[in-house]
Chains A and B, each alone.
Chain A
Amino acid sequence: MSGPVVLDPMTLPSDDNVNKYTYCVELRGDRWFLQKGRMIAYYGQISFDGVGHGRFENLLRTSFHSPLHVADWVVAQGSGKMLLADRAFDVNSYDLDEGNLTIRSGNLLAFQPSLALKQSIVPGFLTLIGTGKFVAVSNGPVVFMEPPLRVDPQALVGWADCPSPCHHYDFGYMRGILGGVRAMTGIGGASGEEHQFEFVGAGTVLVQSTEVLMPEQPTGAVPGEAGVPGGGYQGGQQGGASGMPRLGGQLGDLQRRFGL
């Protein structure tokens, strides 16, 4: 037995992974944002404060733009090295250079204040804009792919620099009465892959290697205005009680399919 590697402040990496599940951030008087409760250990003088602190008002204005979900974030500041980890999931850091990246809210672990964090108009996602480093968690290693591409909804972690995705339904499975019965009951065989997210254009899509989702973090509510997705505004929609829009007769209720 060679014995475990004992790390100290000299041998700990600076802004890099310690192992697949632990990330080390070096602070030299600067700040990092991290999700609540993700720090596991630190050397040096580092203080942790809720973002809602009065003296971070300015930071809040430049980095968050929205007061709605700040309660889940912590500012670490001081000097030293701190270790971040999240429930033994894979941790990776990414560099963003004058770019934008949209990520599932539960997957973002920490980021530099030079990045601005905003709510994405896709519910449950957050968008980072600017230049800087951020740390994200995933269930299994992340694979980078380029559009055009269709991704399983559960495997999607995020996307960078490309237009927002749209839904894609497998037409053959969804068509006609039999297809409707199949989609609703599973009788006749459903592959479980009838629905994907479709990406087009130039950019990068981040895909994790399992279909087990990370628990979602609240991203904050959006104002209930007309035209705001997820705003709960139902006005003018055709869908009836469920509030779901209909897809040209292909996914309607059964009575519709019978022409009633």
Chain B
Amino acid sequence: MLAVDMAGDAVKAKNGSMVAYDGQMSFKKMTGGGEGLRGMVTRRITGESMTVMEVRGQGTCFFADRASEINLVALRGDKLYVEASNLLCTDAALRTGTTFTGMRGAAGGNGLFTTTVEGSGQAAIMSDGPAVVLRVSPQYPLSVDPGAYIAHQGDLRQSFQSGVSFRTFMGEGSGESFQIRFEGDGVVYVQPSERNTIGGDV
């Protein structure tokens, strides 16, 4: 559960994720995630839909969603890439948008697009079990299972690795045929659980 102390300021949170509050709060549904008309259209087209509400007021507000773990990420002018379904709450000052991810998203069952969070402030992301934060540096690239990936941050290039061979079709696949390879400088968040993915069984 995430507790947010507010003094007249606002946060953006996933619709319906408030579980309790004390003090004075007002909740407002933000059409299109506060990204304006263009953002709204982009989200509709890309399928990376996200229903967001704006919470404003005085006091403490508690957010939670399906008892999943919540990880706080501090942003200082950099960009966080996260799946819309894993994003719980952000400071109102942070800008959200969508970006193209290519094959990675398709194999992960998350669609071809992902959500970005930019600016300075804090974002709360959700994971099934506490997330493990892994650093990627030029000499240590990292490979991640698409089903366990939740978010990444920093200057990272991602490429898609596939180990599919004729054995995969003979029922002798390794179960780890698809991986996302991260190179560059940044951190990657993985969860100790795998979503059901198309790539998960081959």
A residues at B contact (CB < 8 Å): 1, 3-9, 18-22, 35-44, 46-50, 52-53, 71, 74-75, 83, 85-88, 91
Contacts and interface: CB of A to CB of B under 8 A. Distances in A.
B142 A37 contact: no
A226 B190 CA distance: 49
A258 B128 CA distance: 55
A7 B132 contact: yes
Interface string B158-197: 0000010001000111111100000000011011111000
Interface of B: 71-74, 122, 128-135, 137, 140-145, 147-148, 163, 167, 171-177, 187-188, 190-194, 200-201
Given A9-B140, A43-B142, A85-B192, A4 B176 contact: no
28 contacts: A3-B72, A4-B131, A5-B133, A6-B135, A7-B132, A7-B135, A19-B130, A20-B130, A21-B192, A22-B192, A36-B175, A37-B175, A37-B194, A39-B145, A40-B145, A40-B148, A42-B143, A50-B172, A50-B174, A52-B172, A74-B174, A74-B175, A85-B148, A85-B191, A86-B192, A87-B193, A88-B129, A91-B192
Given A40-B145, A88-B192, A50 B173 contact: yes
B75 to A, nearest CB: 12
Contact of A4 (B133, B137, B147): B133
Nearest to A84: B192
A138 to B, nearest CB: 14
A21 B130 contact: yes
B166 to A, nearest CB: 12
A43 B137 CA distance: 11
Contacts of B173: 36, 50
Nearest to A41: B144
Contacts of A75: 174
Contacts of B187: 6
Contacts of B122: 1
Nearest to A52: B172
A223 B60 CA distance: 64
Given A4-B71, A8-B140, A39 B188 contact: no
Given A71-B171, A87-B193, 9 more contacts: A8-B137, A40-B191, A44-B140, A48-B163, A48-B175, A48-B177, A74-B175, A85-B193, A88-B129
B176 A74 contact: yes
Contacts of A87: 128, 193-194
Contacts of B128: 87-88
Given A4-B72, A74-B176, A37 B132 contact: no
Nearest to B192: A85
Nearest to B193: A88
A20 B188 CA distance: 19
B144 to A, nearest CB: 4
A89 B190 CA distance: 15
B78 to A, nearest CB: 14
A8 B129 contact: no
A8 B135 contact: yes
Nearest to B148: A40
A47 B129 CA distance: 26
